[in-house]
Amino acid sequence: MNTGRYLHSHLHQSPLSRNQEVSCFINDNGLGDTGDNWMLLCEPGATHWTREAPVRLQHQDTGKFLMSSAHYKYNHPIPGQQEVYCSKPVGNLASWSAQEGIYVGDRGFFDRTADDDEQDE
């Protein structure tokens, strides 16, 4: 589902876990801000993200990691929905993977060199 919003975090406390809040957000002018910036970190030794491979998302402004835990579930609006928040990484709670969706092969992109890019110009 495309909400037209950015995955956002800031220095506000989340309602259940009392960690750093994560939300979907956009400014009144339709633009985001630095609270929308995340770094995707692949597992050690990986050169790029592949289907079902674990990754971590680190919030750039605060250095904390996107997490979720079955210990923090809402009763409303959707019973059983887990809170998503940012915190220091704890075990697997900061690991995410793509299980479903549309996958685009790299078509040799990661095999390219700087010389290849110069030849394309």
Residue-wise pLDDT tens digits, 87-102: 998 888 999 988 877 7
Higher pLDDT, 46 or 59: 59
Is 1 contained in some domain? no
- Residue 40: inside a domain, yes or no? yes
Q: What is the pLDDT of residues 6-47, one digit of tens each?
A: 999 999 999 999 999 999 988 888 888 999 999 999 988 888
Domain containing residue 47: CATH number? 2.80.10.50
For the chain, how many structural domains are there in total?
A: 1
Q: Is residue 111 assigned to a domain? A: yes
Nearest to 38 by CA among 13, 63, 21, 20: 63
Q: What is the pLDDT of residue 105?
A: 64
| 49 found inside a domain | yes
Domain that holds residue 29: 6-120
Please indicate, yes or no, if residue 62 is contained in any of the structural domains: yes
Tell me, yes or no, whether 70 lies in a domain. Answer: yes
Nearest of 2, 81, 75, 27 to residue 10 by alpha carbon: 27
Closest of 14, 3, 7, 16 to residue 80, by C-alpha: 16
**pTM recorded for the entire structure:** 0.76
Task: Judge whether 31 lies within some domain.
Answer: yes
Average pLDDT across the chain, whole number: 84
